[in-house]
Amino acid sequence: MARLFRPSLVVLLEPTRWTRIREAVERLIPGELGDVLVISEDASETPGSSEQGVSPGVSQPGKLLSPPRTGVILLTDRAISAEDLAQRLHPGPSDRQRPARVYIVSLSCHLPGNAVLPEDTPPEAVAEVLRLLAKVARLQYILRRRRLLVRRLKRAAFRDPLTGLLNRRAWPRVFRAVWQRAKRTHQQMVFALFDLDNFKSVNDTLGHRRGDELLRSVGLAARQACRRSDYLFRWGGDEIALVCIIDPNVPAEPIADRVREQLAIKIVDLDDKVLTASAGVTVISPHPLSTSGKPVAKIAEEMIQHADQALRRAKSMGGNTVCRFP
């Protein structure tokens, strides 16, 4: 088994007790445990020094190990503070690792732990508890990795890799979430479509690689112009969409205009030509009187159509402006 998936063992026991159970514990090292660190107040009194012979995987007293991501099992018969243990496992400011997860096996009925054993527990029983806890540590690590992988896959599925904005796949779920929030807070929902003016000619002149760089800059500029609660999409090609909620007495045009102005990028490659954008915006209230009981999916489709019509009108006016539907 790869060392990455084996938890390390930290031993904080009376020297005589560690001597009694050490042989049984060391038999776990090849398959179940990673490194073993023996902590002692007096290293010269602790079995396991180099003069007595150190088994493979067992660290010398006082030598700090690098805890694996799987976690650390602490075998102890005394209390140790979390701060003290963390300092021993992560000694210096240069160690930027995430603190290891600690599982405690206590050889004292007076100490808390994930497993509490009597002081006279046979060595084989202690080793079996360590083996089972090592399996638990591995399974929990695998589950944490799986959850992280699922989050990354979801992000990849709903994000545009070029700009980092949401993509069209995320639209239905985002629309429903924003719709419900606007309905709950009695606010209006805004949908705006932005299209870069004459981007195709810029792309053809400078090449697709430079065009991709410009799109990345546009995505960053759009995020800087919006609130954290707003949603931005790469709608397709050089189109960007914005979904947000506003108070009923707040006009939507200034919000779209602020984003449009932020999207203006000076292109040094074309004699400082400014890349501008046009926008079409539409607003709807989730109030039943304004939606006439339509399904949410139908409302979303209509908002896209209305914003697209307003965008075409802005384009027909020469671009670099905002038009609202109707």
CB 163 within 8 A of CB 216: yes
Write out the DSSP string of 197-223. Answer: TTHHHHHHHH-HHHHHHHHHHHHHHHH
CA pair distance 303, 190, nearest whole angstrom: 9
Amino acid at the residue 60: Q
HEC sequence for 75-143: EECCCCCHHHHHHHHCCCCCCCCCCCCEEEEECCCCCCCCEECCCCCCHHHHHHHHHHHHHHHHHHHHH
Q: Is 62 helix (H, G, I), strand (E, B) or coil?
A: coil
What phi and psi, each to the nearest 5 degrees, are found at residue 307?
-65, -35
Q: Which residues pair with 12 in a beta bridge?
A: 76
55: Cβ contacts below 8 Å, ≥ 6 apart: 26, 29
Query: Catalytic residue numbers?
Result: 238
CA pair distance 254, 108, nearest whole angstrom: 68
> Which residue matches tokens 């108070």?
247
CB 233 within 8 A of CB 166: yes
